[in-house]
Amino acid sequence: MIKVLDSGSRGNCYIIQVGEEKILLECGIDWRNILKGLDYSIKGVKGCLISHKHSDHCKSFKRAFESLPKIYGPVEVIEKYNCHSLHKTKIIENKDKFKLGNFNIMAFNCQHTNSDGSDCQNLGYLIQHPQIGKILFATDTYYLKYKFKDVDHILIECNYSEKYMQDLEPYQMRTFKSHMSLETLKETLKTWDLAKTKDITLIHLSANNGNPKEFKEEIEALTGIPTYIAVPGLEIS
């Protein structure tokens, strides 16, 4: 089961649970809400995967570090919280493969920028488990360099539509080099083999420049695959 605790620039956290095993994807919401999402028990949580250093993805890093067996993420995240630990943190780079319980995980580079326009190191994760299949997680990325196939569950950013982005102030232009538009996502999905894909969940929608109903309908019309919008409480099994 994949459970959304929150998604978007106010905070991101997802739980993947198979049997007794769980992993946390991001910890960018209040720790008490993470605990609530875990039914107040960290039992079975193998670790937390973090995409990048922006607070909406990792603000509860310290609590996760204290409470969970291991935190995985780019070096920028580990350095931000000054929490280097041989046993409790693992710096992840592009194409690293690792195992967490029965989850097999591969990281891949996403394309994101900071508010000053500089590159932000950001990772997506391909997560495989014998019982749930392959899950693709990619957020805060204005495009993806890689093509994927045989993915069972896709969690991917669909932040805004270009048609809501007319007459922009210069500072708003950052969105174009930071986040995935509906139009880019459609072009991306067209190039993937989606034969095995059971569901697509659109994550990290912009509150101002997104349109959940329209995005869901457009992706379903394009792919013929059930599509969901990541809202708190959504569960996909």
Neighbouring residues of 28: CB distance < 8 A, sequence distance ≥ 6: 6, 11, 12, 13, 54, 55, 56, 57, 58, 59, 60
What is the total count of residues that contact Zn ion (CB under 5 A)? 3
Nearest-CB residue to Zn ion?
Answer: 54
- Only one of the segments 35-43, 135-143, 148-156, 192-200 lies at the binding site for Zn ion (rule: CB under 5 A); that segment is 135-143
C-alpha to C-alpha distances, 68 to 3, 27, 61, 89, 181, nearest whole angstrom: 18, 11, 10, 10, 34
**Strand (E) or helix (H) holding 222:** helix 212-223
For Zn ion, the closer CB: 18 or 144: 144
- Only one of the segments 39-47, 136-144, 160-168, 207-215 lies at the binding site for Zn ion (rule: CB under 5 A); that segment is 136-144
For residue 109, the SS3 value is strand
Residue 130 CA, distance from chain mean position: 21
DSSP letter for 122, please.
E
Token pair in block for residue 146: 């890689």
For Zn ion, the closer CB: 114 or 211: 114
- Only one of the segments 32-40, 53-61, 182-190, 194-202 lies at the binding site for Zn ion (rule: CB under 5 A); that segment is 53-61
What is the spatial distance between Cα 59 and Cα 133, in angstroms, rounded to a whole number? 29
CB of 11 to Zn ion, least distance (A): 9
Q: Is 56 in the site for Zn ion (CB under 5 A)?
A: yes
76 φ, ψ (degrees, to nearest 5): -60, -35
Q: Mask 24-43, x = binds Zn ion (CB under 5 A)?
A: --------------------
- Only one of the segments 87-95, 140-148, 166-174, 183-191 lies at the binding site for Zn ion (rule: CB under 5 A); that segment is 140-148
CB of 159 to Zn ion, least distance (A): 9
Q: Is 140 in the site for Zn ion (CB under 5 A)?
A: yes
> DSSP labels for 129-146?
ETTTEEEEEE-S-S--SS
Q: Which of 46, 54, 70, 129 binds Zn ion (CB under 5 A)?
A: 54
Q: Is 134 in the site for Zn ion (CB under 5 A)?
A: no
Q: Is 157 in the site for Zn ion (CB under 5 A)?
A: no
What is the spatial distance between Cα 216 and Cα 204, in angstroms, rounded to a whole number? 13
Contacts with Zn ion in 181-210 (CB under 5 A)? none
Site residues, Zn ion (CB under 5 A): 54, 56, 140
